């Protein structure tokens, strides 16, 4: 069992998930509002996200991660401080026993050092990192210790990681700087070109969640939706109706890039492990993987069984909780 003074942190491009105490889970948007003059903290999470694009005066809203790595250390530190205080409202944030935080496999030492610096403020007895694909695989309930190849495709907000894991280690890896955010920017760019209107990031996210689809045959919950943007010719707000088939067409380019990278990673797979992947299929996780019809589209392009995690937004956190609860068994998976 994890100790009351243990904590796990999955610092993602869009969502930060913390687990602490026993069975306490906390998920917030990776966004922070700061006073730009005083460099002081104002708000974090969804409350800060609500302010995005609507600020005035000295307030600035920061998304401190870019493509899965820390782009603004000061903002990240302040945001994590606020999140940890929410998770542990009644105690000092100092004095944790164990902190485990996840990082993409492809991060450089400099990028990892930034995360360690952001975690230093918690003064924990032990702060360890774990690679995201390894944590995600564990969180999906896979036995990663055996000599059996498992391919994990993690489509996050700003990063897609494709990893082949065997004997607790990553054998082949490829990362693409695309994810759910890219789907949103594809939608925004299309709205500018086709309808000559500018829409907000929030509107693009709403379109994706309501009528986003990976193919024209993947019918989402709603087939149509409306969006209001600013007409770039007149400057006047304008409403447009959209159909899911249009969104499937817009997202095709980015989805093809992801498929091509999966195929390239499969090509690099050692022959001994290719048979395992053929038998096991591949494992899909991350919030971006929840796009309607993505699993089926991938199955058809790679001709392998694709298992979509039933907790795509939480698999990395779940994996870290497993490590915390059986530290001795899993200590080879974590590092300084």
Residues found near ligand ATP in the complex (CB under 6 A): 12-15, 68, 156-159, 179-181, 205, 208-209, 212, 286-288, 290-291, 313
* 79/291 with CB nearer ligand ATP: 291
CB of 74 to ligand ATP, least distance (A): 19
Report whether 129 contacts 69 (CB < 8 A): no
- Count of CA atoms in the C-beta half-sphere (13 A) of 36: 8
* 265/309 with CB nearer ligand ATP: 309
* 14/254 with CB nearer ligand ATP: 14
d(CA 64, CA 72): 5
CB of 100 to ligand ATP, least distance (A): 16
* 21/209 with CB nearer ligand ATP: 209
DSSP string for 18-87: EEETTTEEEEEES-EEEETTTTEEEEETHHHHHHTT---TTEEEE--EETTEES-HHHHHHHHHHHHHHH
In this structure, what is the dihedral angle of CA atoms 72, 78, 79, 81, given to the nearest 10 degrees?
Answer: 140
CB of 297 to ligand ATP, least distance (A): 13
Residue with tokens 């990031």: 201
* 139/212 with CB nearer ligand ATP: 212
CB of 142 to ligand ATP, least distance (A): 18
CB of 265 to ligand ATP, least distance (A): 17
Question: CA nearest 258: which of 174, 194, 316, 193?
Answer: 174
């Amino acid at each position: 069992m994890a100790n009351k003074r243990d904590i796990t942190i999955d610092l993602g491009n869009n969502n930060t998930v913390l687990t602490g105490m026993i069975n306490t889970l906390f998920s917030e948007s990776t966004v922070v509002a700061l006073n730009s003059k005083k460099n002081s903290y104002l708000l974090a999470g969804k409350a800060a996200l609500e302010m995005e694009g609507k600020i005035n005066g000295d307030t600035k809203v920061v998304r401190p991660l870019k493509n899965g790595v820390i782009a603004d250390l000061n903002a990240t530190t302040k945001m994590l401080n606020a999140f940890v205080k929410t998770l542990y409202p009644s105690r000092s944030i100092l004095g944790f026993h164990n902190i485990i935080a996840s990082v993409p496999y492809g991060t450089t030492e400099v990028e990892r050092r930034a995360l360690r610096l952001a975690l230093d403020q918690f003064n924990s007895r032990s702060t360890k990192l774990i690679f995201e694909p390894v944590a995600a695989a564990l969180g999906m309930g896979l036995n990663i210790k055996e000599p059996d190849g498992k391919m994990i495709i993690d489509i996050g907000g700003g990063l897609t990681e494709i990893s082949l894991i065997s004997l607790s280690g990553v054998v082949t890896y490829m990362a693409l700087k695309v994810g759910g955010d890219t789907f949103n920017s594809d939608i925004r760019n299309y709205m500018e070109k086709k309808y000559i209107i500018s829409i907000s990031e929030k509107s693009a996210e709403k379109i994706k969640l309501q009528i986003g689809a990976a193919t024209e045959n993947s019918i989402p919950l709603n087939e149509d939706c409306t969006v209001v943007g600013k007409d770039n010719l007149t400057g006047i707000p304008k409403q447009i109706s959209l159909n899911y088939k249009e969104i499937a067409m817009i997202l095709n380019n980015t989805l093809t890039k992801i498929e091509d990278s999966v195929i390239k990673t499969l090509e690099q797979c050692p022959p001994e492990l290719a048979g395992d992947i053929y038998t096991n299929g591949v494992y899909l996780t991350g919030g971006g993987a929840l796009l309607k019809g993505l699993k089926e589209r991938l199955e058809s392009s790679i001709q392998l069984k694709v298992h979509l995690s039933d907790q795509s937004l939480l698999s990395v956190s779940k994996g870290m909780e497993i490590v915390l609860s059986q530290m001795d068994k899993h200590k080879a998976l974590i590092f300084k």
